[in-house]
A and B are shown apart, each in its own frame.
Chain A
Amino acid sequence: DQQVKQNSPSLSVQEGRISILNCDYTNSMFDYFLWYKKYPAEGPTFLISISSIKDKNEDGRFTVFLNKSAKHLSLHIVPSQPGDSAVYFCAASDQGGSEKLVFGKGMKLTVNP
């Protein structure tokens, strides 16, 4: 049973527009959520995170929103840039992010110039 779901496998947006990546989870014990960015043949790199005590966290062009009642989070990238083209993984933890993470299947974002 997949506990972290990224239901859309890909997204294509125009440079300068907003990219919205969605993630749903089923485990109500998850209390920490993270987004990772991955380029081909490289390891994922941390992008942004949010604790369950917050509903929004912002870092430059990246904002993560958390809706606990809906068990849904989203990553907004604005404005999108061609260098943002990568696979984005949503991940969740039930121990503040310091223990093993459960990852979604990933979503491939393509930002067209």
Chain B
Amino acid sequence: DGGITQSPKYLFRKEGQNVTLSCEQNLNHDAMYWYRQDPGQGLRLIYYSQIVNDFQKGDIAEGYSVSREKKESFPLTVTSAQKNPTAFYLCASSSLGYTFGSGTRLTVV
């Protein structure tokens, strides 16, 4: 079955630690995206990549980093510089329409 997989579903980290969220797709989509959802804020774009080895900052890229070494994978690193990292993170890929993963809830304590 084609789809997009985010892992883990729940993640806990101590403040000051970097953490990497995984996103893998087998839909052969060129474009991939990372969004963050906070209560009352909707979905805000963090980073996106339209092709392998290329990515662009979204609206709230500060404190995050990404890589796109393979078409199938678009990991997101939440660095210690991100001031409010606790959130629900959504990965998506697109080709004439978006497919979302099921999300990762990151809690920083």
Contact = CB atoms under 8 A, between A and B. Distances in A.
Interface of A: 6, 9, 34, 36, 41-46, 49, 89, 97-106
Given A41-B103, A104-B42, A46 B98 contact: yes
B45 interface: yes
Nearest to B94: A98
B51 to A, nearest CB: 12
Given A41-B88, A106-B43, 17 more contacts: A6-B42, A41-B105, A42-B103, A43-B92, A43-B100, A43-B102, A44-B43, A46-B97, A49-B97, A97-B97, A98-B95, A98-B96, A99-B31, A99-B50, A100-B31, A100-B33, A103-B42
A56 B98 CA distance: 21
A45 B102 CA distance: 10
B26 to A, nearest CB: 16
Contacts, number: 56
Contacts of A101: 98
Q: Is the interface of A mostly helix, strand, loop or mixed?
A: loop
B48 A42 contact: no
Contact of A105 (B6, B42, B58): B42
B101 A100 contact: no
Contacts of B48: 100
Contacts of A36: 98, 100
Given A44-B90, A99-B31, A89 B96 contact: no
B2 interface: no
A100 B43 CA distance: 12
A49 B9 CA distance: 28
Contacts of B45: 100, 102
A45 B100 contact: yes
